[in-house]
């Protein structure tokens, strides 16, 4: 049941290529943002930060390793949930007083990553992913054009 909730039929065809491009763009961006944070995961916000070290660790972990997971398409729903939580905290916690656009700093990057993660959580990573190889039903995929289940 949990597998079915997180991994329904995987989108194939051109949709899979689009999802791969989205995963690669977001994944490499998240790694670039997360790499400096993962160097000091419990204190990357500085000694006077109001955010506890454990939450700083969760943010650094979800950005860096969530980005890696998106690139290869492994455990995509779990990675997307972590990224969504981190980006909501970034947008409305760390950047609460910043404008949506016009910075830096601004809420725009965090909310953009949130929407990408939400999209991947709702659609899945597509057939061009390790999730499909490991968890996918080898007999079915979804055609994005007419939403019918096709045999593979």
63 neighbors 33 (Cβ within 8 angstroms): yes
- Give the pLDDT confidence of 14-52 residue by residue, as tens digits: 999 999 999 999 999 999 999 999 999 999 988 888 889
CA torsion sign, 99 to 27 to 54 to 118? positive
For residue 140, what are the β-bridge partners?
151
pTM of this structure: 0.86
Mean pLDDT (whole number) for 55-67: 96
């Amino acid at each position: 049941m949990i597998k079915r909730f997180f991994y329904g039929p995987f989108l194939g065809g051109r949709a899979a290529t689009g999802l791969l491009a989205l995963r690669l763009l977001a994944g490499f961006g998240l790694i670039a943002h997360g790499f400096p944070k993962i160097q000091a995961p419990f204190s990357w916000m500085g000694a006077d930060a109001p955010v506890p070290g454990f939450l700083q660790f969760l943010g650094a972990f979800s950005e860096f390793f969530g980005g890696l997971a998106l690139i290869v398409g492994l455990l995509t729903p779990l990675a997307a949930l972590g990224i969504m939580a981190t980006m909501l905290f970034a947008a409305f916690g760390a950047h609460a007083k910043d404008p949506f656009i016009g910075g830096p700093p601004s809420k725009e990057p965090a909310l953009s990553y949130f929407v990408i993660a939400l999209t991947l959580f709702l659609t899945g990573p597509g057939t061009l992913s390790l999730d499909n190889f490991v968890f996918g039903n080898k007999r079915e995929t979804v055609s994005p054009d007419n939403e019918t289940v096709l045999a593979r």
